[in-house]
Amino acid sequence: MKISCKVLLTGVTGFVGGGVLRRLVADERYFASAAVRQHPALSLGSQVNAFAVGDLTASTDWSAALVAADVVIHAAARAHIMSDESIDPLVEYRSVNVDGTMALARQAVAAGVKRFIFISSIGVNGNINTAPFKENNAPAPAEPYAQSKYEAEIALLQLASETGLEVVIIRPPLVYGANAPGNFGGLVKAISKGLPLPLGAVHNKRSLVALDNLVDLIITCIDHSAAANQIFLAGDGEDISTTQLLRGVARAMGKPSRLVPIPASWLMMAATMLGKKAVAQRLLGSLQVDISKAQQLLGWTPPLSVAEGLRRCFPIVKD
């Protein structure tokens, strides 16, 4: 099959970027290049050209990496830092996620890149809801990370209107998969250790997205004509409670789920008293996303169910 598109990918050492790279390498329609901080960042294989560009800043030189690129998939970012000791975290997030992103985007325009796919965050919409988020809801970023992603979105869409660069923005909720970091990884560790968790009576609704589903949406947006200058919310299309998630993880691991049914209101009260309200909201609150726009405009359907996505997190488990 003839290569139809040359793609430059950033963030290949990250969880999402690594998943995208594996898919690009496996698909004969694409030729993948990777921007990394320095050589040797990791073994990318002989099928991938790697370019060392240094840190992601306003002054990063992307010229060599952008040569002949048709599409940029920008997955690199300054992500959530749980114990951020910066004097002004928003300044640090903006430096990378806004200034660094726009330096890449402007140089991409100069290099003749046709499309720029930006991996944003559902945090742009907000951290909690009572009705599923949609792309046209008023943004309500509550944390510096999400605020920086929102500002980058605004700047990218402005650049698109000025230059003709096609921009695609994808906002995923929590992304899970094998060896996932962050909150999902923490839950997996707790279950693997057999720890009792006071989360057996949580009746919230959370939208998640399996890594393979997110990657599939990203790949769909590479050359789908209807994706140009659009924002899409990603998700599995199934909303589950934290209790259901933990039981599903335990089942996929072949482990017992030791969940203690303590009322969510009690847990929220205790967490608030301990100064952990934000952490509790992620576990106890609802956050749903409506993926119908991607389904209708792109004809996209998440290839994996939640059950299959969880099963793939633990490939060595035997049925």
pLDDT tens digit sequence for 174-219: 999 999 988 888 889 989 998 899 999 999 999 999 999 999 999 9
Largest CA distance in the chain: 60
Residue 217 lies in a domain: no
Residue 247 pLDDT: 95
d(CA 312, CA 184): 14
Instruction: Assess whether pLDDT exceeds 80 at residue 173.
Output: yes
pLDDT at 81: 59
**In a domain? residue 49:** yes
Asked whether residue 153 falls in the same domain as residue 270, the answer is: no
Mean pLDDT confidence for 129-140 = 95
Question: Is the domain of 155 the same as that of 245?
Answer: no
Residue type, 157: L
In a domain, 110, yes or no: yes
Q: Are residues 99 and 67 in the same domain?
A: yes
Contact 92, 55 (CB under 8 A): no
Owning domain of residue 11: 5-171
Q: Which pLDDT score is estimated for 181?
A: 87
- Cα distance between residue 262 and residue 318, in whole Å: 32
**In the 8-state DSSP scheme, what is residue 42?**
S
* Integer Cα distance of 34 and 36 in angstroms: 6
**Same-domain status, 10 and 44:** yes
If asked whether residues 186 and 152 sit together in one domain, one would say: no
> Averaged over 147-174, what is the pLDDT?
97
Residue 219 lies in a domain: no
The verdict on residue 75 lying in a domain is: yes
Same domain as 193, residue 140: no
DSSP 108: H
User: Is this prediction's pTM over 0.85?
Assistant: yes
Same domain, 32 and 153: yes
- In CATH, what number is assigned to the domain containing residue 78? 3.40.50.720
Q: Is 151 helix (H, G, I), strand (E, B) or coil?
A: helix
Q: Are residues 64 and 198 in the same domain?
A: no
Q: Long-range CB contacts (< 8 A, 24+ apart) of 266-272?
A: 267/198, 267/199, 267/202
pLDDT tens track for 72-122: 999 999 986 545 566 788 999 999 999 999 999 999 999 999 999 999 999
Predicted pLDDT of residue 92: 93
- Interval 221-238 mean pLDDT: 97
Asked if 117 and 186 sit in the same domain, the reply is no
> What are the phi and psi torsion angles at 9 (to 5°)?
-115, 135
CA distance 32 to 265: 48
144 with 97: CB under 8 angstroms?
no
In a domain, 313, yes or no: no
| 244 and 162 within one domain | no
Residue 316 inside a domain? The answer is no
Looking at the DSSP assignment, which residues form a beta bridge with residue 33? 8, 49
Q: Are residues 115 and 264 in the same domain?
A: no
The active-site residue, picked from 30, 93, 145, 176, is: 145
What average pLDDT does this structure show over 221-245? 97
Looking at residue 49, what is its pLDDT? Answer: 82
Active site residue 176: no
Are 137 and 186 in a shared domain? no
The tally of domains found in the chain comes to: 2
